[in-house]
Amino acid sequence: MITRRFLLKEHGTDVRTEAVAGATTFVTMAYILFVNPLILSNAGMDRGAVFTATALASAIGTLCMGLFANVPFALAPGMGLNAFFTFTVVIGMGLRWQEALGVVFVCGLINILITVTRIRKMLIAAIPESLQCAIGAGIGRFIAYIGLKNGRFLEFLVDGGQVLNANIAEGKVASALASDVIPRMVDFTGGASLVSLAGLLIIFTLLLLRVRGAILIGILLTTGLGLVNGVTRLPSVALRDFLPPSLAPTLFQLDLAGVWNRLGGLFPVILAFSLTDTFDTVGTFLGTGRKAGIFDAKDEAVMRQGGGFSSKLDRALFADSIATSVGALLGTSNTTTYVESAAGIGAGGKTGLASVFTAGFFILALFLAPLALMIPASATAPALIAVGVLMMDAAGKIRWDDLEEAVPAFFTAVLMPFTYSITNGIAAGFVFYILAKLLRRKHGSVHPILYIMTGLFLANYLLEALR
């Protein structure tokens, strides 16, 4: 029944492979279970309730993706979006966190609307192939950069040599020092960086030997090494520590009336949330799904020509848009498709069954939080680097000898890791693509949707600057 439901034979996979892929994706993105509550607690939200909301929102969104779209992508509250929620909307603009959740809910409704009315589809159809390849390569670089940071391969110098003492696992650098920050390789005397280096060697050895489940095996073996040298430790907990924290402090606490009363002033916030969520999702689908063959040219053609939910991409976009509003009801910031899904895809995931397994692990995590916490960033970082390597072949499909393609592609791929944002890379690519076409007097070859979205990007950046 499972084989028929998820078309495993047609996709050249099996239950074991999908289970390994689902576990790999979960382990690679499980950090959100602990990072998200930490960030949102700064907005005044109950940390335990946010933990439970994060796990449930991730499980529900990922399950919808697997069952409805039959693709191996996982969802969770987005990094960057949670920081925007806390530090810009709540702390910076003075909204109560209940009102901020209302904004997130409205953004989810907008995303559902633009998905049902084909606007998201038109956007995908408007992106030229060179930029689609650049998005894939950029995401690969972004993933690898996250891995290098999380694995403590890099340290950051400021003020002519002082090492910046920041939480580099979350990519946080003080804005006042950003222009003076210089990255360099560490000396590998720290335990975390040594474990990460060993994990990288393990994973690439297994990949080169074509061992099935190489990435997951590598993560588990690296966690074992972390136990040996003290980077991580077995938790010492009581039975009650395995019970999920209450969801009551955040469940259905969003304030839509407050959003309505301040709608005019909140328009830039809603636009920023919606654009970031949309382009992160589209970029992830195109970058990872296209490279892995999950969304091929035939599927994209069906999406453009068909109506309703006639393609996997249609259904995936709809599942993603539903997840944001569900997350707001539970009590968390925007739930979105995770680029770390590429780790599970790299481990062989091809169908929604992998997502079902990932969703199951998020449910189990509600009761196994102390054990999930013991997997260190040093164990998942090498997996991200390996996935980044696997995604780089998209860059080979770009005509680098043609500046009309090369310049937009370059800024798309480079600015994603450099600005720690998929959206910024896509925005830069759009701007330089249109400039190139205008300078070559080929403005008619640009899809109208691309002009509109580029204008919205520029308007959003202008509003941020004025704010």
What does the pLDDT read at residue 301? 66
Q: Is the pLDDT of residue 302 over 70?
A: no
Residue at 99 is within a domain: yes
Spatial distance between the Cα atoms of 312 and 72, rounded to a whole number of angstroms? 11
pLDDT digits (tens, 9 = 90+) for 450-459: 898 888 888 8
Q: Using CA atoms, how far apart are residues 452 and 459, in angstroms rounded to an integer?
A: 10
Q: In which element (H, E) is residue 267 found?
A: helix 263-284
Span of 232-241, 253-262, 313-322 with lowest mean pLDDT:
232-241
- CB contact at 8 A, 377 and 150: yes
**Total number of residues shown for the chain:** 467
The helix (run of H) or strand (run of E) holding residue 154 is strand 154-158
Distance, CA of 353 to CA of 355 (rounded, Å)? 5
CA neighbours closer than 13 Å in the CB half-sphere of residue 96: 12
| Residue 160: predicted pLDDT | 56
Q: Is residue 166 part of a domain?
A: no
- 143-157, 234-248, 355-369: the lowest-pLDDT one: 234-248
pLDDT score for 387: 81
pLDDT band at 383 (very low <50, low <70, confident <90, very high): confident
Average of per-residue pLDDT across 82-102: 86
| pLDDT for 59 | 97
Q: Is 183 helix (H, G, I), strand (E, B) or coil?
A: strand
State the pLDDT at residue 172: 44
pLDDT tens-digit map of 417-451? 888 777 788 889 999 999 999 999 998 888 888 89
Angle among Cα 316, 319, 324 to the nearest 5 degrees reads 130
Q: What is the H or E stretch that residue 76 is in? A: strand 75-77
Q: How far apart are CA 400 and CA 114, in angstroms?
A: 34
Average pLDDT over every residue of 121-138: 81
Residue 177's pLDDT band (boundaries 50, 70, 90)? very low
Q: What pLDDT shows up at residue 176?
A: 42
Write out the DSSP string of 387-456.
Answer: HHHHHGGGGGGS-TT-HHHHHHHHHHHHHHHHHT-HHHHHHHHHHHHHHHHHHTT-GGGS-HHHHHHHHH
Token pair 């798309």: residue: 412
Position 233 in a domain: yes
Contacts of 438 (CB under 8 A, 6+ apart): none
Q: How far apart are CA 103 and CA 256, in angstroms?
A: 8
The pLDDT assigned to 291 comes to: 66
Of 173-182, 221-230, 301-310, which one has max mean pLDDT?
A: 221-230
pLDDT digits (tens, 9 = 90+) for 263-291: 767 776 787 677 677 777 877 887 777 66
Q: Which range, 23-37, 55-69, 100-114, 265-279, is most confident? A: 55-69
Q: Is the pLDDT of residue 218 over 50?
A: yes
Residue 321 reports pLDDT greater than 50:
yes
**Mean pLDDT computed over every residue of the chain:** 84
Query: Residue 350, Cβ neighbours under 10 Å: how many?
Result: 25
pLDDT (0 to 100) of residue 300:
65
Task: Tell which wins on pLDDT, 329 or 140.
Answer: 329
Question: Of 251, 246, 265, 259, which Cα lies nearest the Cα of 96?
Answer: 259
DSSP state of 298: H
CB contact at 8 A, 174 and 183: no
Which DSSP state fits 244?
P
pLDDT at 170 over 50: no
Element (H, E) at 182: strand 182-185
Beta carbons of 413 and 392 less than 8 angstroms apart: no
Residue 162 placed within a domain? no
pLDDT over 70, % of the chain: 89
Describe the strand order of the beta sheet including 154-158 as a list of residue ranges: 162-163, 154-158, 182-185
Considering 57-61, 74-78, 107-111, 449-453, the range whose residues carry the highest mean pLDDT is 57-61
Residue 410: Cβ-neighbour burial (10 angstroms; 0-12, 13-18, 19+): buried
Tell me the pairing of strands 154-158 and 162-163.
antiparallel
φ and ψ at 76, to 5 degrees?
Answer: -165, 165
Do the bridges between strand 162-163 and strand 182-185 make them parallel or antiparallel, or are there none, so unpaired? unpaired
Q: Is residue 143 part of a domain?
A: yes
% of the chain at pLDDT higher than 90: 32
185 assigned to some structural domain: no
Indicate the burial class of 431 (C-beta count within 10 angstroms; 0-12, 13-18, 19 or more): middle
CB 211 within 8 A of CB 203: no
Per the structure, the count of domains in the chain is 1
Burial of 338 (0-12, 13-18, 19+ CB in 10 A): buried
Over residues 336-348, mean pLDDT: 87
pLDDT in tens, 289-299: 766 677 766 66
Q: Can you tell me whether residue 156 is helix, strand or coil?
A: strand
Domain contains 176: no
Residue 174 resides in a domain: no
Domain that holds residue 218: 2-152+190-466
Average of pLDDT values for 162-189?
A: 60
